Amino acid sequence: LQIFLAALAFSFFAKGFSGSYMKSMSSQIERRFEISSSIVGIIDGSFEIGNLMVMVLVSYLGPRVHRPKVIAVGCLIMSLGAFLSVVPQFLMGRYNYERITVTVDNSSTSVSACSPAWSEGHPDTDATETPSAMKNFGCEKTTNSYLWLFVLMGNLLRGIGEAPVMPLGVSYIDDFSKEENSAFYIGLVRSSGMFGPTLGFLLGSFCASLWVDIGIVDVDAISINPKDTRWVGAWWLGLLICGVVNFIASLPFWFLPYSLPKEGDNEKLKISHLPVQGDHCKTDPPAQPQLRFSEAVKVYSIYFSITDFFPALNKLFGNPIFLVFIFLTILQYNSLVGLITYETKFMEQQFNVSVARAIFLIGVILLPVTILGMFLGGFLIKKFRLHITEMAKFACITFIVAYLLNLLYFTCSCDVLQVAGLTVPYSGLKHLSSFKTSFMASCNTDCGCKLDHWDPVCGDNGITYMTACFAGCKSSTGMGKNMVFHNCSCVEGQGHGLGNSSAVLGQCQRESCTKAFPYFLALQTACAFILALGGTPTYMIMFRSVSPDLKSFAVGLETLGGRILGGLPAPIYFGALIDETCLKWGTKNCGGSGSCRVYDTKAFR
């Protein structure tokens, strides 16, 4: 049993490791494939679809199959899914982000994007139009646009592979451990598994800080940093590591037995196996009926039989405690899955935090606190030997406290990013009335700016401009990240007249938002701990309220209900709602709408 506990804990670690890594990379995948948040939600939901395809079958079969070997096969499928998701990186070529083009003359000064001469000679284009974009006109319809389907299919396989780990692993522990130890063991395995998400987020943080084409492109030549909304980290690198970890997790299960002696019965078994003198007929204990893989088709038909499956289903749904538990699970899945999927994007948009730092903070603060809460919840059940009603009261109190704390999120306010022509007017200048030129003002009409471009600069006046062209900058010095634009006709700096100010690459920082971030993080930590504290007692309510022969089936139905009505729709509708708050969409290299660059932070919150 101890070996199985260790192997299961590592498989929980492996699935949590790869699952959290995928969650942490949602923003990077969105930007790399230039897709919307709702598409990211569909990719995320594909994991749940894969899970649902086999979850009920796996849970219902329960003790009829060789549970350790089925878990081993699941881990191998998860490994295959991780490797499949990496394939697009080697098919897409290098990542080209939106940026302005400046022509360099013989001196150290560059001619900036605001070039009247260019706009007079080329009325239909502008200085920011790259030759490759004109050459590849219409290429948004090519195969590259749909390579995110590889990630979707890989996530689907991960979902299929993960399905047997929880129901079969937990029911195996509950079957062969003492009743008083069962809750503690399950809490121990689940909390040990939580180190996977922690390390997954840390790996995500590391990979998000590396450039996507690391080893191929000179990083010093890149003009953006990890805080930029166009930055894409090495999302594929961590998936290779996840694939290897899942493969290793499958190995020990191939050598574990179909069943174990009940914990505490070892001495009795030793006595019963002692040979009786003069008795040449040694009697073995009756073996449990084992289901081989070759018999899976037969069991599949039994699974749908009215005489077996539906009475079990009716018995579970006729249990009011189990029904309430399922309803609670669905609500919690919706809340937690939506939160986890878009947490890093929220931190980035609200508090000027880079995605890499946001992922790191989740990994080193929020998840360890959650682990502590889950472990402490299991320990309190064992220590005070809580019965089902006491566990329900304890869980109820923790959820009410967490809910009241959640209301404080409304106080973590932050101003919308000030973007000229988008969220604030140009300083002291009247807008042009035409819709097509709503981002234009009289100070930049002769610049020939590309309206759908995004390469932000921060002016001396603290206002962000979509490009240096929109700021009306006539010249620039320096290269790469150190480029500074001068003689900006739309920027009115302190102590400078209009047109005599400069701008630097990147959007302006919002100091008030940065100061509010520690309070937000402290509030999230408190909420995570309190919710986790009530998590293990709530989970044990299900085990104590159903008959022993239906435990495995109950775990499967609980996971199924949570995922089909929570885990699957939540990322999609959260993503669609977040897309509605987008103020400025990016543009693909060869046309078409990309990922969002600026959100209305108040609506997002």
CATH code, domain carrying 231: 1.20.1250.20
The pLDDT-based confidence of 496 (bands split at 50, 70, 90) is low
Residue 456 belongs to some domain of the structure? no
Tally of domains in the chain: 1
Q: What does each C-alpha distance from 227 to 32, 115, 531 come to in angstroms?
A: 15, 29, 31
Q: Inform me whether the pLDDT recorded for 218 exceeds 60.
A: yes
Gap between the Cα atoms of 566 and 47, Å rounded: 12
Tokens 């994991």 locate to: 47
Q: Which of 205-209, 238-242, 495-499, 563-567 has the lowest mean pLDDT?
A: 495-499
Residue 359 belongs to some domain of the structure? no
The pLDDT-based confidence of 80 (bands split at 50, 70, 90) is very high
The pLDDT-based confidence of 414 (bands split at 50, 70, 90) is confident
144-166 average pLDDT score: 88
Q: Which of 21-30, 330-339, 385-394, 479-488 has the lowest mean pLDDT?
A: 479-488
pLDDT at position 137 is 44
pLDDT at position 580 is 93
pLDDT at position 442 is 80
Greater model confidence, 312 or 440? 312
Greater model confidence, 494 or 363? 363
Q: Inform me whether the pLDDT recorded for 180 exceeds 90.
A: no
Residue 94 belongs to some domain of the structure? yes
Q: Inform me whether the pLDDT recorded for 86 exceeds 80.
A: yes
Q: Inform me whether the pLDDT recorded for 229 exceeds 90.
A: no
Gap between the Cα atoms of 164 and 160, Å rounded: 8
The pLDDT-based confidence of 112 (bands split at 50, 70, 90) is low
Sign of the C-alpha dihedral computed for residues 451, 457, 460 and 463 taken in this order: positive
Residue 161: partners with Cβ closer than 8 Å, 6 or more residues away? 50, 73, 74, 75, 76, 77, 78, 79, 80, 81, 246
Residue 50 belongs to some domain of the structure? yes
- The burial of 478, by beta-carbon neighbours within 10 Å (0-12 exposed, 13-18 middle, 19 or more buried), is given as middle
The pLDDT-based confidence of 118 (bands split at 50, 70, 90) is very low
Q: Inform me whether the pLDDT recorded for 494 exceeds 60.
A: no
Q: Inform me whether the pLDDT recorded for 488 exceeds 70.
A: yes
pLDDT at position 276 is 47
pLDDT at position 66 is 82
- The burial of 358, by beta-carbon neighbours within 10 Å (0-12 exposed, 13-18 middle, 19 or more buried), is given as buried
The pLDDT-based confidence of 416 (bands split at 50, 70, 90) is confident
Residue 250 belongs to some domain of the structure? yes
Domain range enclosing 213: 1-114+145-263
Which 3-state string (H, E, C) describes 261-277? Answer: CCCCCHHHHHHHCCCCC
Contact 489, 472 (CB under 8 A): yes
Residue 458 belongs to some domain of the structure? no
Q: Inform me whether the pLDDT recorded for 423 exceeds 80.
A: yes
pLDDT at position 303 is 46
Tokens of 263: 């914990």
Contact 200, 239 (CB under 8 A): no
Greater model confidence, 454 or 98? 454
The pLDDT-based confidence of 132 (bands split at 50, 70, 90) is very low
Residue 245 belongs to some domain of the structure? yes
Sign of the C-alpha dihedral computed for residues 196, 201, 206 and 207 taken in this order: positive
Greater model confidence, 149 or 58? 149
Q: Inform me whether the pLDDT recorded for 388 exceeds 50.
A: yes
Residue 293 belongs to some domain of the structure? no
Sign of the C-alpha dihedral computed for residues 490, 493, 495 and 500 taken in this order: negative
Q: Inform me whether the pLDDT recorded for 287 exceeds 70.
A: no
Q: Inform me whether the pLDDT recorded for 42 exceeds 80.
A: yes
Instruction: Determine what percent of the chain is predicted with pLDDT higher than 70.
Output: 80
pLDDT at position 590 is 64
pLDDT at position 318 is 92
- pTM for this predicted structure: 0.76
Instruction: Determine what percent of the chain is predicted with pLDDT higher than 90.
Output: 24
Segment (H or E) for 504: strand 501-505
The Cβ of residue 267 has, within 10 Å, a number of other Cβ atoms equal to 8
Q: Which of 199, 170, 559 is nearest to 363 (CA)?
A: 199
The pLDDT-based confidence of 288 (bands split at 50, 70, 90) is very low
The pLDDT-based confidence of 144 (bands split at 50, 70, 90) is low
Q: Inform me whether the pLDDT recorded for 30 exceeds 50.
A: yes
